[in-house]
Amino acid sequence: LEIVGLLGGSELTRVSTLIPLENNASDPTRRFEADRHSLVHGLKILRESRLELCALYHSHPNGPALPSKVDLENAQWDVPMLIVDAVTLTVRAWRLVDGSEVKLEVIS
């Protein structure tokens, strides 16, 4: 199934919190649609924790970690979208509003 969620942090470029959201898509094996109530609740958690929305994430159960046509058509947020290829466990980030890739860096 496709997963979907929010990534928050104290700076837009430093993620410290992952908030999974419920997927309400009619076919969650091929699409994601964040449940409105879980989305509002997730945004409330970020606000109450004084965190910013850094990115969104979702998976492609059969790969690849590239935006699909549907992802691009449904782009509504001006934050990066991390796409997880569940086959290869590859993660890439995209700014879906313009289709550009965003570089990821893991800091431990």
Residue 27: CB atoms within 10 A of its CB come to 10
**Cα–Cα distance, 33 to 24 (Å, whole number):** 5
Catalytic pick from 2, 11, 22, 73?
Answer: 2
Dist. CA 36–CA 104, nearest whole Å? 28
2 is catalytic: yes
Active site (catalytic) residues = 2
